[in-house]
């Protein structure tokens, strides 16, 4: 039987062993992501959101270390997975849009080439079909002039266009789980709203399972079905988005909700 949850994180802890002491960046967190749900992780800067995402893909590097926990992806524990198997999963069955858009593309290759390469690596398609598919996905993210974007180097594109191209690359192998880490934070406000609308549409249409990370409760409220609130490495509250907006139980959550209401 196929599990109804795409992701189950149980007791995950990721620490940094720094000089004198240990920083508990992620401190014994647990959450589930049912298939087809958009689950948000929200919390202030430094609360451990990115480290949670990196842990799920086992991309934490020394002095950081996953010290305990299990990460069950579609029934299989990522923690005990062979590295080669995991490498094949990254960018195909699980893909991630990183917080820092400039670091995501390699500066020496065109954007289209890199998207096509990702297809060639993960699917059994020939070069020509992969190039067509890369262009199709750029079209899906509604960049102005997809052909031009395809043949551009990353530095030739605006932040918003680059982020759309990143989203195209993340979707091109039809991932079962999409992780979005602050996908619009680096963009200015108007562009941010456009990219969020695009993401919402693509997630809806493809019924995607998404882990959506943001420090912005307003963004999370728009995008997510359920949310876990992180504070100092811990999840202090998990709830449906309506429930948490109307009746936050944790005092830290309440302060986040208040600040969003004050803005709107």
Contacts with ligand ATP by CB under 6 A lie at: 16, 18, 23, 25, 43, 45-51, 63-64, 99, 215
What residues does 41 pair with on adjacent strands? Answer: 213, 228
Are 26 and 233 contacting, i.e. CB atoms less than 8 angstroms apart? yes
Q: Please state, in angstroms and rounded to a whole number, the distance separating the CA atoms of residues 42 and 39.
A: 10
**Interacting span for Mg ion (CB under 5 A) from 4-12, 45-53, 63-71, 249-257:** 45-53
* Residue 215 binds which entry of Mg ion, ligand ATP, none, CB below 5-8 Å type-dependent: ligand ATP
Shortest reach from residue 112's CB to ligand ATP, in Å: 29
Sign, Cα dihedral of 70, 72, 75, 76: negative
- Picking from 6, 10, 34, 53, the residue whose alpha carbon sits closest to that of residue 224 is 34
**Interacting span for Mg ion (CB under 5 A) from 48-56, 79-87, 134-142, 253-261:** 48-56
Question: Which residue among 13, 14, 47, 50 contacts Mg ion (CB under 5 A)?
Answer: 50
| Residue 79: Cβ within 10 Å count | 15
* Residue 164 binds which entry of ligand ATP, Mg ion, none, CB below 5-8 Å type-dependent: none
Residue 184 binds Mg ion, judged by CB under 5 A = no
What residues does 226 pair with on adjacent strands? Answer: 39, 240
Pick between residue 16 and residue 153 the one whose CB is nearest to ligand ATP: 16
Shortest reach from residue 18's CB to ligand ATP, in Å: 5
* Residue 48 binds which entry of ligand ATP, Mg ion, none, CB below 5-8 Å type-dependent: ligand ATP
Shortest reach from residue 37's CB to ligand ATP, in Å: 21
**Interacting span for Mg ion (CB under 5 A) from 25-33, 42-50, 100-108, 184-192:** 42-50
Token pair in block for residue 46: 């430094």
Pick between residue 171 and residue 213 the one whose CB is nearest to Mg ion: 213
């Amino acid at each position: 039987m196929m599990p109804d949850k795409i992701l189950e994180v149980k007791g995950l802890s990721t620490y940094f062993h720094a000089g004198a002491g240990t920083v508990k960046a992620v401190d014994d967190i647990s959450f589930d992501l049912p298939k087809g749900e958009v689950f948000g992780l929200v919390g202030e800067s430094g609360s451990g959101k990115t480290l949670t995402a990196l842990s799920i893909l086992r991309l934490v590097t020394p002095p950081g270390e996953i010290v305990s926990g299990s990460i069950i992806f579609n029934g299989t524990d990522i923690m005990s997975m062979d590295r080669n198997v995991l490498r094949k999963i990254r960018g195909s069955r699980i893909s991630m849009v990183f917080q820092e858009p400039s670091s995501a593309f390699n500066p020496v290759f065109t954007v289209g080439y890199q998207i096509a390469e990702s297809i060639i690596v993960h699917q059994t398609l020939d070069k020509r079909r992969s190039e067509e598919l890369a262009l199709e996905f750029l079209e899906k993210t509604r960049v102005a002039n997809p052909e031009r974007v395809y043949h551009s180097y990353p530095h030739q594109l605006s932040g918003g266009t680059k982020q759309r191209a990143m989203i195209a690359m993340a979707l091109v192998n039809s991932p079962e789980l999409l992780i979005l880490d602050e996908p619009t934070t680096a963009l200015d406000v108007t562009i941010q709203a456009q990219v969020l609308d695009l993401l919402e549409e693509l997630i809806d249409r493809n019924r995607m399972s998404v882990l959506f990370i943001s420090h912005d409760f307003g963004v999370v409220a728009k995008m997510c079905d359920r949310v876990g609130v992180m504070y100092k490495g811990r999840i202090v509250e998990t709830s449906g988005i309506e429930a948490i907006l109307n009746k936050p139980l944790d005092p830290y959550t309440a302060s986040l909700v208040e600040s969003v209401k004050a803005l709107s």
